Structure 1
Amino acid sequence: MNISQERKEFAERLQSALRQARQPADSPTALARGFNSHFPGRAITVHAARKWLMAESIPTQDKLRSLAQWLQVPAEWLRFGGLATGGGKEGQAPVDKTLGAMLAAMSREDLKLVEALHALEADERRLVRELIQLFFRTQERALQEAASA
Protein backbone atom coordinates (compact mmCIF):
# COMPACT_ATOMS: atom_id res chain seq x y z
CA MET A 1 0.00 0.00 0.00
CA ASN A 2 1.41 3.40 -0.91
CA ILE A 3 1.51 6.39 1.42
CA SER A 4 -1.31 8.26 -0.33
CA GLN A 5 -3.59 5.24 0.15
CA GLU A 6 -2.57 5.06 3.83
CA ARG A 7 -3.41 8.73 4.28
CA LYS A 8 -6.77 8.28 2.53
CA GLU A 9 -7.72 5.33 4.72
CA PHE A 10 -6.60 7.17 7.86
CA ALA A 11 -8.77 10.16 6.89
CA GLU A 12 -11.77 7.85 6.39
CA ARG A 13 -11.25 6.24 9.80
CA LEU A 14 -10.81 9.66 11.42
CA GLN A 15 -14.04 10.93 9.88
CA SER A 16 -15.85 7.77 10.96
CA ALA A 17 -14.53 8.12 14.52
CA LEU A 18 -15.56 11.78 14.59
CA ARG A 19 -19.09 10.90 13.48
CA GLN A 20 -19.29 8.14 16.09
CA ALA A 21 -18.19 10.64 18.75
CA ARG A 22 -20.88 13.00 17.48
CA GLN A 23 -18.32 15.54 16.28
CA PRO A 24 -18.41 17.31 12.90
CA ALA A 25 -16.51 15.06 10.47
CA ASP A 26 -15.98 17.74 7.83
CA SER A 27 -14.89 20.76 9.86
CA PRO A 28 -11.16 21.37 10.31
CA THR A 29 -11.97 24.18 12.74
CA ALA A 30 -14.09 21.91 14.97
CA LEU A 31 -11.45 19.17 14.77
CA ALA A 32 -8.65 21.57 15.76
CA ARG A 33 -10.68 23.02 18.65
CA GLY A 34 -11.74 19.62 19.96
CA PHE A 35 -8.29 18.12 19.59
CA ASN A 36 -6.52 21.10 21.18
CA SER A 37 -8.85 20.98 24.19
CA HIS A 38 -7.63 17.42 24.88
CA PHE A 39 -3.99 17.56 23.77
CA PRO A 40 -1.48 18.60 26.46
CA GLY A 41 1.20 19.60 23.96
CA ARG A 42 1.47 22.38 21.44
CA ALA A 43 -1.85 23.17 19.73
CA ILE A 44 -2.43 22.21 16.12
CA THR A 45 -3.58 24.70 13.51
CA VAL A 46 -6.79 24.50 11.54
CA HIS A 47 -4.57 23.89 8.52
CA ALA A 48 -3.05 20.79 10.17
CA ALA A 49 -6.54 19.48 11.02
CA ARG A 50 -7.60 20.09 7.41
CA LYS A 51 -4.62 18.07 6.17
CA TRP A 52 -5.70 15.14 8.38
CA LEU A 53 -9.28 15.29 7.08
CA MET A 54 -8.24 15.72 3.44
CA ALA A 55 -5.77 12.81 3.49
CA GLU A 56 -2.76 15.05 3.02
CA SER A 57 -0.99 13.97 6.21
CA ILE A 58 -1.17 11.65 9.20
CA PRO A 59 -0.58 13.00 12.73
CA THR A 60 2.56 12.17 14.67
CA GLN A 61 2.35 9.32 17.18
CA ASP A 62 1.74 11.54 20.23
CA LYS A 63 -1.04 13.41 18.47
CA LEU A 64 -2.51 10.17 17.15
CA ARG A 65 -2.68 8.70 20.66
CA SER A 66 -4.35 11.83 22.00
CA LEU A 67 -6.76 11.91 19.07
CA ALA A 68 -7.71 8.27 19.64
CA GLN A 69 -8.17 8.86 23.36
CA TRP A 70 -10.37 11.90 22.73
CA LEU A 71 -12.50 10.02 20.19
CA GLN A 72 -12.42 6.87 22.33
CA VAL A 73 -11.19 4.52 19.62
CA PRO A 74 -8.10 2.30 19.63
CA ALA A 75 -5.04 4.22 18.42
CA GLU A 76 -3.90 1.19 16.40
CA TRP A 77 -7.22 1.07 14.58
CA LEU A 78 -7.20 4.81 13.93
CA ARG A 79 -3.72 4.67 12.42
CA PHE A 80 -3.71 1.32 10.65
CA GLY A 81 -7.28 -0.01 10.53
CA GLY A 82 -7.65 -3.76 10.23
CA LEU A 83 -4.86 -5.99 8.97
CA ALA A 84 -7.08 -7.50 6.29
CA THR A 85 -4.67 -7.07 3.40
CA GLY A 86 -1.54 -8.36 5.06
CA GLY A 87 -2.86 -10.71 7.68
CA GLY A 88 -1.69 -10.70 11.25
CA LYS A 89 1.83 -10.90 12.59
CA GLU A 90 3.51 -14.25 12.65
CA GLY A 91 1.62 -16.57 14.98
CA GLN A 92 -1.51 -14.38 14.96
CA ALA A 93 -4.68 -14.81 12.95
CA PRO A 94 -5.40 -12.14 10.34
CA VAL A 95 -7.93 -9.52 11.36
CA ASP A 96 -11.29 -9.59 9.59
CA LYS A 97 -11.87 -6.79 7.03
CA THR A 98 -14.95 -5.62 8.91
CA LEU A 99 -13.14 -5.03 12.22
CA GLY A 100 -12.42 -1.36 11.52
CA ALA A 101 -16.00 -0.70 10.48
CA MET A 102 -17.28 -2.57 13.51
CA LEU A 103 -15.06 -0.58 15.88
CA ALA A 104 -16.12 2.69 14.29
CA ALA A 105 -19.79 1.75 14.71
CA MET A 106 -19.43 0.88 18.40
CA SER A 107 -20.71 3.23 21.06
CA ARG A 108 -18.33 4.66 23.63
CA GLU A 109 -19.77 2.26 26.21
CA ASP A 110 -19.12 -0.72 23.91
CA LEU A 111 -15.53 0.39 23.30
CA LYS A 112 -14.98 0.79 27.04
CA LEU A 113 -16.34 -2.73 27.55
CA VAL A 114 -13.94 -4.14 24.94
CA GLU A 115 -11.04 -2.29 26.58
CA ALA A 116 -12.06 -3.63 30.00
CA LEU A 117 -12.31 -7.15 28.59
CA HIS A 118 -8.87 -6.82 27.04
CA ALA A 119 -7.42 -5.72 30.39
CA LEU A 120 -8.58 -8.91 32.12
CA GLU A 121 -6.32 -11.88 32.70
CA ALA A 122 -6.63 -14.77 30.22
CA ASP A 123 -8.66 -16.96 32.59
CA GLU A 124 -11.06 -14.10 33.31
CA ARG A 125 -11.50 -13.40 29.58
CA ARG A 126 -12.27 -17.10 29.04
CA LEU A 127 -14.97 -16.96 31.73
CA VAL A 128 -16.54 -13.86 30.19
CA ARG A 129 -16.51 -15.55 26.76
CA GLU A 130 -18.22 -18.63 28.20
CA LEU A 131 -20.86 -16.48 29.88
CA ILE A 132 -21.60 -14.63 26.63
CA GLN A 133 -21.85 -17.94 24.76
CA LEU A 134 -24.32 -19.14 27.41
CA PHE A 135 -26.43 -16.02 26.83
CA PHE A 136 -26.41 -16.66 23.07
CA ARG A 137 -27.44 -20.30 23.50
CA THR A 138 -30.28 -19.29 25.84
CA GLN A 139 -31.43 -16.62 23.38
CA GLU A 140 -31.33 -19.08 20.46
CA ARG A 141 -33.43 -21.60 22.40
CA ALA A 142 -36.00 -18.92 23.25
CA LEU A 143 -36.20 -17.86 19.60
CA GLN A 144 -36.60 -21.46 18.46
CA GLU A 145 -39.36 -22.08 21.01
CA ALA A 146 -41.15 -18.89 19.96
CA ALA A 147 -40.89 -19.88 16.27
CA SER A 148 -42.30 -23.36 16.88
CA ALA A 149 -45.17 -22.13 19.10
Structure 2
Amino acid sequence: MDKARSDNVFMHTESDKVEFSKRLNLALKSLPNQPLNAAQIATQFNLRYSKEPISPQAVHKWLTGQSFPTVDKVRTLSEWLNVSYEWLRYGVKQELRMSDIDKLMLEYFQKLNPTQKQAFLNLIIEVTKK
Protein backbone atom coordinates (compact mmCIF):
# COMPACT_ATOMS: atom_id res chain seq x y z
CA MET A 1 0.00 0.00 0.00
CA ASP A 2 1.54 3.33 -0.94
CA LYS A 3 1.86 6.40 1.24
CA ALA A 4 -0.34 8.58 -0.96
CA ARG A 5 -3.28 6.17 -0.80
CA SER A 6 -4.27 6.56 2.81
CA ASP A 7 -2.54 7.99 5.85
CA ASN A 8 -5.02 6.16 8.05
CA VAL A 9 -3.63 2.75 7.11
CA PHE A 10 -0.07 3.65 6.16
CA MET A 11 2.61 2.48 8.54
CA HIS A 12 4.74 5.54 9.27
CA THR A 13 8.46 5.08 9.64
CA GLU A 14 10.23 5.94 12.87
CA SER A 15 11.73 8.91 11.05
CA ASP A 16 8.24 10.14 10.01
CA LYS A 17 7.11 10.00 13.63
CA VAL A 18 10.18 11.77 14.98
CA GLU A 19 10.05 14.53 12.36
CA PHE A 20 6.33 15.05 13.00
CA SER A 21 6.98 15.30 16.75
CA LYS A 22 9.62 18.00 16.13
CA ARG A 23 7.19 20.05 14.05
CA LEU A 24 4.38 19.58 16.57
CA ASN A 25 6.60 20.65 19.47
CA LEU A 26 7.75 23.69 17.50
CA ALA A 27 4.18 24.71 16.68
CA LEU A 28 3.10 24.26 20.31
CA LYS A 29 5.89 26.59 21.48
CA SER A 30 4.26 29.42 19.52
CA LEU A 31 1.12 29.26 21.67
CA PRO A 32 0.65 31.66 24.58
CA ASN A 33 0.85 30.31 28.13
CA GLN A 34 3.63 27.84 27.47
CA PRO A 35 4.56 25.19 28.24
CA LEU A 36 1.48 22.97 28.08
CA ASN A 37 1.61 19.42 29.40
CA ALA A 38 0.09 16.45 27.57
CA ALA A 39 -3.18 16.64 29.54
CA GLN A 40 -3.61 20.33 28.73
CA ILE A 41 -2.85 19.71 25.06
CA ALA A 42 -5.38 16.86 24.97
CA THR A 43 -8.02 19.08 26.57
CA GLN A 44 -7.43 21.92 24.10
CA PHE A 45 -7.39 19.48 21.18
CA ASN A 46 -10.62 17.79 22.28
CA LEU A 47 -12.40 21.17 22.43
CA ARG A 48 -11.74 21.48 18.70
CA TYR A 49 -12.15 17.86 17.59
CA SER A 50 -15.66 16.56 16.93
CA LYS A 51 -14.88 12.84 17.04
CA GLU A 52 -13.78 10.60 19.90
CA PRO A 53 -11.57 12.46 22.40
CA ILE A 54 -7.88 11.73 22.59
CA SER A 55 -6.00 10.91 25.78
CA PRO A 56 -2.95 12.60 27.29
CA GLN A 57 -1.13 9.34 26.56
CA ALA A 58 -1.87 9.73 22.83
CA VAL A 59 -0.54 13.30 22.95
CA HIS A 60 2.58 12.10 24.77
CA LYS A 61 3.19 9.57 21.99
CA TRP A 62 2.83 12.28 19.33
CA LEU A 63 5.21 14.59 21.21
CA THR A 64 7.85 11.92 21.67
CA GLY A 65 7.74 10.44 18.17
CA GLN A 66 6.17 7.15 19.22
CA SER A 67 3.04 7.48 17.09
CA PHE A 68 1.55 9.53 14.28
CA PRO A 69 -1.99 10.98 14.39
CA THR A 70 -4.54 10.30 11.69
CA VAL A 71 -5.18 12.78 8.89
CA ASP A 72 -8.22 14.34 10.57
CA LYS A 73 -6.28 14.82 13.81
CA VAL A 74 -3.36 16.45 11.99
CA ARG A 75 -5.86 18.77 10.29
CA THR A 76 -7.39 19.72 13.65
CA LEU A 77 -3.94 20.30 15.12
CA SER A 78 -2.89 22.48 12.19
CA GLU A 79 -6.02 24.63 12.46
CA TRP A 80 -5.60 25.01 16.23
CA LEU A 81 -1.88 25.79 15.99
CA ASN A 82 -2.34 28.08 12.99
CA VAL A 83 0.16 26.25 10.78
CA SER A 84 -0.41 24.72 7.38
CA TYR A 85 -1.55 21.12 7.24
CA GLU A 86 1.17 20.37 4.68
CA TRP A 87 3.90 21.66 6.96
CA LEU A 88 2.66 19.85 10.05
CA ARG A 89 1.98 16.57 8.23
CA TYR A 90 4.82 16.45 5.73
CA GLY A 91 7.27 19.18 6.71
CA VAL A 92 6.57 20.99 3.44
CA LYS A 93 6.71 24.75 3.71
CA GLN A 94 3.77 26.54 2.23
CA GLU A 95 4.88 28.60 -0.73
CA LEU A 96 4.56 32.32 -0.19
CA ARG A 97 2.31 33.78 -2.84
CA MET A 98 3.08 37.34 -3.79
CA SER A 99 1.09 39.70 -5.95
CA ASP A 100 2.73 41.18 -9.03
CA ILE A 101 3.17 44.53 -7.32
CA ASP A 102 4.76 42.88 -4.26
CA LYS A 103 7.18 41.02 -6.54
CA LEU A 104 8.05 44.26 -8.32
CA MET A 105 8.61 46.09 -5.03
CA LEU A 106 10.85 43.29 -3.78
CA GLU A 107 12.82 43.31 -7.04
CA TYR A 108 13.49 47.05 -6.75
CA PHE A 109 14.16 46.85 -3.00
CA GLN A 110 16.86 44.22 -3.58
CA LYS A 111 18.68 46.64 -5.90
CA LEU A 112 19.07 49.26 -3.14
CA ASN A 113 22.25 49.64 -1.11
CA PRO A 114 22.03 49.14 2.69
CA THR A 115 21.60 52.86 3.42
CA GLN A 116 18.80 53.15 0.87
CA LYS A 117 17.13 50.03 2.25
CA GLN A 118 17.12 51.50 5.76
CA ALA A 119 15.72 54.80 4.50
CA PHE A 120 13.00 52.95 2.58
CA LEU A 121 12.17 50.83 5.62
CA ASN A 122 11.92 53.96 7.80
CA LEU A 123 9.58 55.51 5.24
CA ILE A 124 7.34 52.42 5.21
CA ILE A 125 7.23 52.37 9.01
CA GLU A 126 6.31 56.05 9.13
CA VAL A 127 3.62 55.78 6.44
CA THR A 128 1.97 52.76 8.08
CA LYS A 129 1.79 54.25 11.59
CA LYS A 130 -1.72 55.00 12.72
TM-score range, shorter chain: 0.5 to 0.7
TM-score by length of 2: 0.67
Q: Post-superposition shift, 1:10?
A: 0.5
Alignment partners' CA distance in 2, 1:20 and 1:137: 34
Larger Rg belongs to: 2
Alignment partners' CA distance in 2, 1:54 and 1:24: 17
Q: Give percent identity, aligned residues only.
A: 30
**Which deviates the most, 35-44 or 130-139?**
130-139
Q: Post-superposition shift, 1:28?
A: 1.0
Highest RCO, 1 vs 2 (Cα 8 Å, sep ≥ 6): 2
Q: Is 1:66 the counterpart of 2:76 in the alignment?
A: yes
TM-score by length of 1: 0.60
Cα deviation 1:110-131 (Å, max 9, x = unaligned): xxxx8xx64xxxxx72322222
**For this pair of structures, how many residues does the alignment match?**
108
- The aligned residue for residue 31 of structure 1 is 41
Residue identity in the other structure for 1:126: D
Alignment partners' CA distance in 2, 1:137 and 1:76: 33
Structure 1: unaligned runs, 5 residues or longer: 83-98, 104-113, 119-123
Structure 2: unaligned runs, 5 residues or longer: 1-11, 120-130
Please tell me whether the aligned partners of residues 109 and 117 of structure 2 are also in contact (alpha carbons under 8 angstroms): no
Q: Is 1:78 the counterpart of 2:88 in the alignment?
A: yes
Q: Is 1:4 the counterpart of 2:14 in the alignment?
A: yes
* Structure (1 or 2) with the greater helix fraction: 1
